[in-house]
Structure formats: structure tokens, C-alpha cells
Amino acid sequence: MELSDRKKKILAAVVEQYIKTGEPVGSKSLLEYQPMSLSSATVRNEMAELSSMGLLEQPHTSAGRIPSHKGYRYYVDNLMGRTELDEKVRKHIENAVSEKSGDADSLLSRAGEVLANITNCAAVSAATVGESAVIKRIEMVPVGTRTAMLVLLTSTGILKSKICRADSEITPSLSESFYNVTSAALVGRPLCDVNLATMQTLAASVGCDAFAMLSLLAGVTELARDASQVDVRLDGQSNLLNYVELEQNAYELMEFLRKGEPLGDIVTLNKNDLDVLIGKENKYRQLEHSSVIMARYSVKNQDGGTIGLIGPTRIDYAKLIPSVKYLTDLVGRILTKALEED
């Protein structure tokens, strides 16, 4: 869609003023917000043409204009200026999400909390396992005569653990056999290759320790399965209740966010480094008055996961997109560094 420079300037001003005030924008208030060498009548005519093009809407006959979903999209794609992340916000993100946050689960938990806090939106985060993800390490720590803690770490920083009870005594000989078998046959292997049939074959290969080994390897299978599943976190959903434009479908939206499956779908649908879905561009009807910003992070050049936010269409895109992108990149760098040092 081609717009004249004058229409671009007016559309950008309407979007930015409406984001700031939440009130329909009239020609007079627009000229007060963004002085132009134009008459109020000229601005009014241009706004009427932008409305006929589907970029602006008029909620009431006597009211000013507000951006349509198409108007927001044109603004984000063509008019939005590049905004540098505020130094104070950057420091806040770095202090909250540090190398001390731990594994991917803990790190994403902190990332979701800080994103919800600085954006006043709902934050969504998930570590996802791509086809290239492999097992990086498997550990067994005996904690009783027949009980051990099993730990599995993936190449994308996902850490899973569980207590497992063996069918016989966990002897030093069994521990050594477990280490040798898992190091040789499982470390470096894709998660999707780990199944019970594989483990039964491995257990049989250790001879007299096969009976005790089977229950331990079955525990590793469960950890691999858990690490392969998308675990979606949601933080700050109550922030959405503060927006007047979401009041009409607030209950429906809260119920939608409470369900894990749709959020998991939103996360896995995001295939780009950065996606911005506005209003009816979203797959789910419950999000037709909302915008979703999602960014992916990489761990050692592998797909690591997604962090993003859900807010009203009236969010400050120029301000929030850099925040999401910086936080996402930071999580990827921290996890990459941790795995390189491991």
C-alpha cells in the first residue's frame, strides 16, 4: 500500500498519540500533538482518506480516529522509528536475568517475571527442543541404597532431574556401568532417539547388571521425554486487566491464557527471530483485540526457545519490541556461555 509522505506522517502521529493517550484522535488534537504546516481541515480530509483505506477507524460518528489493525501493521512495518533501549531498562534486565539464574528453566522463569514487570503485559516464555538438540550430559547421584538422583542436560541448556528407585542395590560397580553405558551410547545422541526399546537393548548389554540398570535407564527415558516437551510459562496476566480496551472480553481472555495448549501453539508457531502479530492476525479469536510479540533465542547456534508478550493492540511497539529482543538475546548468550564453560 503506497501512501504519500503527508499521509504517512499523519498516520504515524495518530498511532503514536493513541498509544499514549488511549483516546480517539481528532484533527485539532493531532496538530497540538504533532505541529504541521497544515490546516485542521486538510488533516481532517487526510484522516478521512486513511479511514477509507482501512488504516484508521472512527469508533463513533462524532469521535476522532483510532488506528485499525491494518493501521498498526503499516506503522510497525513502515513508519515506526528505531528506538534504542533505555539504559535504565537495560540495566534492570541485566540485573534480573544474570548468569546466576541457573539452568534454562530458572532463567526463563526470571525472564518472564522481568518482562511482565517492565512492559505491564503478560509474558510468555518456553524452552523448545529442536530436531538438532542432543543429550549433553547424564549424571546419576546415589542418595540411598536403592535410590538415585538422575540428571539430564541437553545441548540447548534444558536441565531435567528426578529421583529414581532401582530394583536392586546401587553398587559402585553399577554406578560405573551406568556412567560407561550412558557416556558411550547416549551422550551426543538426539533426544528424539531415546525410547524404552533403546534402553532395554542398552540394559541387556551390561550383563549381570542388566536388571538393576533397566530401571535407571527407564528413568533417563522419562527425562528425555520431559526435556522434549514444550513447557510454557505465563507471567503477569493480571496486567491485562488494567487496559480499558480489553475489558469487554477480559474474562474470556483470562480463561484462554489459563489453558496451556493454545499458548504452546502460539510459541511453536513462531518460527522467525521476531514475530509481531496484531489483532485479527492472531490465530485465536480470543486475541483479536491483542498484539503478540515473540522472539526466539539460540543456544550455540541451535534453536533454544521463545520469549514474548501479549498486550492490547495499543502497546508501544517502538519501546517494547527492543525490550523483548534484548531480553531474548541475553538469555541465549547466558545459556550459550554456560554450556561452553561446562
What pLDDT was estimated at residue 100?
65
The helix/strand/coil state of 310 is strand
Pairing of β 147-154 and β 66-67: unpaired
pLDDT of residue 208: 65
Per-residue confidence (pLDDT) for residue 99, from 0 to 100: 67
Could you report the per-residue pLDDT of 32-57, keeping only the tens digit for each? 888 888 889 999 999 999 999 999 99
Alpha-carbon distance of 255 to 257, in angstroms, equals: 6
Q: Where are the domains of the chain?
A: 5-79, 87-128+232-341, 135-228
H/E stretch holding 326: helix 317-341
Query: What gap in Å lies between CA 318 and CA 78, rounded to an integer?
Result: 12
CA separation for the pair 184, 220 (Å, rounded): 14
- Would you state the pLDDT for residue 102? 63
Q: What is the CATH number of domain 87-128+232-341?
A: 3.30.450.40
Annotation: CATH topology of 5-79: Arc Repressor Mutant, subunit A (1.10.10)
Q: Is the pLDDT of residue 8 over 70?
A: yes
| Strand 66-67 with 274-278, pairing | unpaired
Helix, strand, or coil here: 194?
A: coil
Cα→Cα distances 210→50, 76, 142, 145, 338, Å: 74, 60, 18, 17, 35
Q: What mean pLDDT comes out for the span 96-122?
A: 85
Residue 98: per-residue pLDDT: 78
Q: What is the pLDDT of residues 203-253, one digit of tens each?
A: 777 776 677 788 888 999 999 999 888 888 999 999 999 998 888 888 889
Could you tell me which of 309, 302, 310 has the C-alpha nearest to residue 332?
302
The model's pLDDT over 292-303, given as tens digits with 9 standing for 90+, comes to 999 999 888 888
Closest CA to 302 of 148, 158, 137: 158
In CATH, the number for domain 135-228 is 3.30.390.60
- Using the predicted structure, report yes or no on whether residue 88 has a pLDDT greater than 80: yes
Q: How far apart are CA 203 and CA 213, in angstroms?
A: 6
β-bridge mates for residue 161, sequence order: 151
Per-residue exposure over 24-46, b if at least 16 CB sit within 10 Å of its own CB, e if not = bbbbebbbeebeeebeeeebbeb
All three cell numbers of 83: 528506538
**CA–CA separation, 312 vs 246, rounded Å?**
7
As a whole number of angstroms, the distance between CA 47 and CA 59 comes to 14
pLDDT of 177 > 80? The answer is: yes
Contacts of 119 by beta carbon, 8 Å cutoff, 6+ apart: 236, 239, 309, 311, 315, 320, 323, 324
Read off the pLDDT of each residue in 147-162 and give the average, rounded to a whole number.
92
